A = this chain, B = another copy of it.
């Protein structure tokens, strides 16, 4: 039995209740740690569940920043240095990852607080998260201000990728499940995944087949 919610009934929900409700509705989300550093060498790592693919050619990835903390350090560092990392979260670090969402003083590095290890490599100007199995280095490309709700969209170009060799498919597909990458829902719910199938490219007059 489904319950119906109108726009008016949603708007009447208490603020936090509405936040949980609407955040859940978007479905399962990507959840990753963003690594940044400012020009003084102060590093930062913060969890984000608003990362999304926008194009493969060139390879672009985007995320949404809310106008409020704790994301401000990350956004400021991205705009200051032009570089950041996206690091997938797995079962061994999701609690530390979640803890990075606490509002720490900007002078404090969440790497130190949570025990997550920063990793600098290949002259990339932002720290990767060492415990992460899939690590992505990104170069800032464009900021789009979304005026309807004062959020900010940041588009970056993928310039470095580190993936376990065992997770690489012959067709370019990366097996995220084998990399232990998690997904999240709402503000605070973390999930492992259980693969059902990979399906063939759909055509009008052809039956789908399983690729795996």
Contact = CB atoms under 8 A, between A and B. Distances in A.
Interface of A: 1-7, 10-11, 13, 15-32, 50-61, 64, 66, 88, 91, 94-95, 98-104, 113, 122, 133-136, 141-142, 144, 146, 148-149, 151, 153, 155, 157-165, 168-169, 171-174, 176-177, 181-183, 185-204, 208, 211-212
B158 A148 contact: no
A144 B55 CA distance: 15
Given A54-B151, A164-B2, A192-B196, A171 B99 contact: no
B59 A64 contact: no
Contacts of A19: 56-57, 172
A132 to B, nearest CB: 10
A31 B27 contact: yes
A93 to B, nearest CB: 12
B202 A160 contact: no
A25 B189 contact: no
A22 B151 contact: no
B191 A102 contact: no
Contacts of A172: 13, 16-21, 24
